[in-house]
Amino acid sequence: MSEIEWTDTTWNPVAGCTAASSGCTNCYAMHMALRLEAMGIKKYQNLARRSGKRTVWTGSVNLDEKSLETPFRWRKPRKIFVNSMSDLFHEKVPFEFVERVWHTMEQTPRHQYQILTKRPERMLEFTRSRIKDVLPNVWLGTSVENEETSERVSILSKTPAAIRFVSFEPLIDSVGGIDLGNIHWAIVGGESGAQARPIKEEWIDEIHALCQLYGTAFFFKQWGTWGKDNKKRSKKANGRLFRGKVWEEMPEIYFAR
């Protein structure tokens, strides 16, 4: 089971990525890929490397055909975060492979699939050119970390999907005034780790107010390494309270019988 608060498990038909924007600077998947390689796991070979004191992606991406079968083996319904170790819409992932991922999702309607990308323009191209019908169990999302990346929301808004969601994590600046009119769910979280950049309560307030305005479900995931008092401490110590409560709103979903 996953430690990510808003999902049950992760599924990685693709491994490896490259940075798309400043939200990627301290990418968790990059560090994890290096660790998994050191443990001898073949899927994660040559995806990341050390460069001075930093870890960087090498630019290689591995398609894991065998993992396309994995969700069939999970008998009980799960919420599944697709590609926590990559970006399904990375330019090195051919649409033919994405179609095979779609096929698995279509054949396992008992599960809910959550796909999050920093490349929503490619996701839009894929859904428009390759997908005939919207799958009721597939949620499509994009990440936004600041105002410069907020354009991703308008691209997502045009993308056909049962559920559209935005992950404002790591939130590293104000996102400005975004139109969430076509967005069902928003996740907000601060960054974690030694190099984490601070989050500010007023930036969360802005997003929370937008969610109330547009009727978008609001999920506050965590403060991360920086607390609301702008002090650094452990992620656990900073906790998950925003304005005195835990926010775990979810979008309304369709359940296959």
Which residue ranges make up the site for ligand SF4 (CB under 6 A)? 17, 19-20, 24, 27, 29-30, 86-87, 118
Could you tell me if 190 and 242 are in contact, meaning their C-beta atoms sit under 8 angstroms apart? no
Give the residue with the Cβ less far from ligand SF4, 7 or 86. Answer: 86
Could you tell me if 115 and 79 are in contact, meaning their C-beta atoms sit under 8 angstroms apart? no
- State the minimum distance, in angstroms, from the CB of residue 113 to ligand SF4: 17
Quote the CA–CA distance of 246 and 195 in Å, as a whole number.
26
Name residue 123's amino acid: M
- State the minimum distance, in angstroms, from the CB of residue 22 to ligand SF4: 10
Give the residue with the Cβ less far from ligand SF4, 85 or 178. Answer: 85
Token pair 């109330």 is found at 212
Give the residue with the Cβ less far from ligand SF4, 48 or 108. Answer: 48
C-alpha distances in Å from residue 146, one per residue of 126, 173, 220: 25, 5, 17
- State the minimum distance, in angstroms, from the CB of residue 5 to ligand SF4: 17
Q: Tally the residues of the chain.
A: 257
- State the minimum distance, in angstroms, from the CB of residue 141 to ligand SF4: 12
Give the residue with the Cβ less far from ligand SF4, 17 or 199. Answer: 17
Could you tell me if 151 and 125 are in contact, meaning their C-beta atoms sit under 8 angstroms apart? no
- State the minimum distance, in angstroms, from the CB of residue 173 to ligand SF4: 16
- Beta-carbon contacts of residue 123 (< 8 Å; ≥ 6 apart): 88, 89, 115, 117, 140, 142, 155, 156, 159
Give the residue with the Cβ less far from ligand SF4, 115 or 183. Answer: 115
